[in-house]
């Protein structure tokens, strides 16, 4: 069954049109996405939780990614999607009051998956949520996520900047998160 997304303009405003997800990525049609970073303080450092995408994912299989994220279905809002995806992917229940808005990010990426063009045009709202939970306490959906791991935010930024591990994380998004946390790193 096709998943339908709201079409947006360059500024992220709804146009009143909808498109199926496959067409959105084939034709590069703008749509919305919700990103949620889980953060905690550990040994005096801020850590972020990374999820390793499952090998069955169409886009960026076996790559480290944002704690939880998802396309926003037509008619749904950013916060509802963030909360739903967190529960589906990692088994964590949250409320709107738990989400801390960090900023907006526009994504333009052209590539290819499975021999087919893939054009991502998304407007994302980036949220964070404080959660101190050990990795083995997450109930992960193995169809979506292979594993999770905590990493110091500064180390994550260094690893992403220098491509030291397989990931689908933009340094710009980590900078948005750092700024929201009131941190400044040399990255």
* Domains of the chain, CATH where assigned: 4-180 (3.90.79.10)
Closest to 45 (Cα-Cα) out of 187, 186, 165, 183:
183
Q: What is the pLDDT of residues 162-182, one digit of tens each?
A: 999 999 999 999 999 999 999
Q: Buried b / exposed e across 37-65, counting CB within 10 Å, b at 16+?
A: bbbbeeeeebbbbbbbbbeebeeeeebbb
* pLDDT, tens digit only, all 187 positions of the chain: 889 999 999 999 999 999 999 999 999 999 999 999 999 999 999 999 999 999 988 778 999 999 999 999 999 999 999 999 999 999 999 999 999 999 999 999 998 887 888 899 999 999 999 999 999 999 999 999 999 999 999 999 999 999 999 999 999 999 999 999 998 776 4
The answer to whether the CB of 72 falls within 8 A of the CB of 5 is yes
Q: What is the pLDDT of residues 150-165, one digit of tens each?
A: 999 999 999 999 999 9
C-alpha distances in Å from residue 99, one per residue of 8, 35, 47, 119: 23, 11, 17, 29
C-alpha distances in Å from residue 152, one per residue of 41, 48, 51, 157, 185: 9, 6, 14, 9, 12
């Amino acid at each position: 069954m096709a998943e339908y997304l709201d079409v947006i303009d360059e500024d992220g405003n709804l146009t009143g049109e909808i498109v199926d997800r496959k067409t959105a990525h084939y034709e590069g049609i703008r749509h919305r996405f919700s990103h949620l970073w889980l953060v905690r303080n550990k040994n005096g450092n801020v850590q972020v939780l990374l999820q390793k995408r499952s090998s069955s994912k169409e886009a960026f299989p076996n790559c480290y990614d944002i704690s939880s994220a998802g396309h926003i279905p037509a008619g749904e809002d950013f916060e509802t999607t963030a909360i739903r995806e967190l529960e589906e992917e990692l088994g964590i229940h949250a409320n709107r009051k738990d989400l801390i808005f960090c900023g907006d990010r526009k994504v333009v990426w052209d590539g290819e998956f499975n021999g087919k063009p893939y054009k991502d045009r998304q407007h994302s709202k980036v949220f964070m949520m404080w959660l101190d939970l050990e990795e083995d306490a997450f109930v992960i959906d193995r169809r979506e996520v292979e594993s999770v791991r905590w990493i110091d935010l500064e180390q994550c930024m260094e690893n992403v900047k220098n491509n030291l591990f397989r990931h689908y994380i933009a340094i710009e998004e980590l900078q948005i998160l750092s700024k929201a946390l009131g941190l400044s790193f040399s990255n």
